[in-house]
Amino acid sequence: MTAVDTNIMVYASRADSPFYEAAEAALDRLAGSGQPWAIPWQCIHEFLAIVTHPRIYRPPTPLSDALIQVDCWLECRSLTLIGELQGYWDELRPMAEQARLTGPRFHDARVAAVCRQHGVETLWSADRDLSRFDGIRVVNPLLP
């Protein structure tokens, strides 16, 4: 199964992003493939926080538009939203130690740990920091 990280969703929803067309096309391909795919709940939360933030985007995405975008993704029958399961700490703790995580890098570890718990094999992301975690292949679908 493939999961999608926040940055791909942000790029696909913001026409002012230089990666808009590539990200939108990548998500359309994934959703239209009929194959199961996933979005971690943390990434939905982060998507909403980023696109509606007035210090990140001027103008920010109106909340109603951001919520409609999430609703559109949720309409895809092959999408599964994934979150922490029993034993999550047993995934996260060794990742944090191995990567010597501090500060905001814990968010990436949370995403990677949830993906591993759910058997995600590939995580689509433009964030190279996610490749520091074993057991999940990080692919940037925006690169040719």
Residue 144 maps to a domain = no
Into how many domains does the chain fold? Answer: 1
What is the domain extent for residue 66?
A: 2-138
Q: CA torsion angle for 104, 108, 111, 115 (degrees, to 10)?
A: -160
pLDDT tens, the chain, 144 aa long: 999 999 999 999 999 999 999 999 999 999 999 999 999 999 999 999 999 999 999 999 999 999 999 999 999 999 999 999 999 999 999 999 999 999 988 999 999 999 999 999 999 999 988 998 988 999 999 998
The CATH number of the domain holding residue 18 is 3.40.50.1010
